[in-house]
Amino acid sequence: MAEDKYNLKNPAVKRILQEVKEMQSNPSDDFMSLPLEENIFDWQFAIRGPSETEFEGGIYHGRIQLPAEYPFKPPSFMLLTPNGRFETQTKICLSISNHHPEHWQPSWSVRTALVALIAFMPTNPNGALGSVEYKKEERRSLAIKSRAAAPRYGTAERQKLIDEIHECMLSKVPPVPQPSPSQDSKEHPSNREGDVQVSYQNDGATPAGEAAAEGSPNPAVGDRIVEEVQEAPLNGNPGPEVARTLNAAPSGGSSQLLQRPEMKVQKPADDRLFTWAAVGLTIAIMVLLFKKFMKSSGHGAVFMDGS
């Protein structure tokens, strides 16, 4: 990289060159990113799909554009590989992007942003700008296609960098795993409950922890980064997925609920039976005691005649 054509006293240039050296000295298996030779404010990157998701095994290329005020202003991101989560060649809306400069922190870096982007992949888009929502089967199919060839984009110099990054990521990222039969049954269209299950609760924590494990001087991406979710429309009514869950409840459950009151009705009858038995036994004991009392007091004969 020709550093001599840049003003090394410029804070943005100085910070970017520092991050380039850090990327090269401390590479990650989850992503790779380098600036163009002709413009260090323009980066190419590739990330691997997060494990245990429909993106696993995929290689997703993208572009990062750093502003002249970097790191005091956030970069912009766009994906170049079809993925089923973000639109391609469109600047996406994330809390780490230029769409939300109020959330950006100068201590964050390109590495931090890529870790966060991986964490965003399996989350619910909630209609955010630049997001799409495909079925899991379609996303898995796109993950397989993403390994076949790098996307075609930009100048020859840029394409050369994209191809180099792709070859490097292919050597690191295992192939797309085949879904197990149980996963196929859950995701089958006849079983609508599979669409309701969301297994993305802890996706944001794993990549953030990885950044700390790699010894990055940048802080881990915390709860503020997962603020793309707040862009969901405020709607108090249950969505169609919740309605499907309620409708999918087995009919046998209602019959069990109807049988429970019958069991509860029998309990009061048993209690009354025991109560009357206790009362009868008490009366019998009192009669015997009364007879003994009358006999001992001299009225036994009269009592016996009367009985």
Note the pLDDT tens digit of each residue in 70-107.
999 999 999 999 999 999 999 998 888 888 899 999 99
Q: Whole-angstrom Cα distance, residue 223 to residue 17?
A: 28
Q: Whole-angstrom Cα distance, residue 278 to residue 271?
A: 11
Which whole number is the average pLDDT over 280-301? 80
Catalytic residue chosen out of the listed positions 93, 116, 117, 173: 93
Q: In 10 A of CB 306, how many CB atoms?
A: 8
For the record, the structure tokens of 234 come out as 């405020």
- Answer with the residue of higher pLDDT: 242 or 38: 38
Statement: residue 255 has pLDDT above 50: no
Determine the pLDDT at residue 224: 42
Report the phi/psi class of residue 89: left, alpha or beta, with left for phi > 0 and alpha for psi in -120 to 50.
left
Residue 161 banded pLDDT, cuts 50, 70, 90: very high
Mean residue pLDDT across the chain: 76
Domain boundaries, given as residue ranges, for the chain: 11-172
Determine the pLDDT at residue 239: 43
Residue 250 banded pLDDT, cuts 50, 70, 90: very low
> What number does CATH give the domain 11-172?
3.10.110.10
Quick check: is 168 catalytic? no
Determine the pLDDT at residue 50: 96
Q: Whole-angstrom Cα distance, residue 165 to residue 169?
A: 6
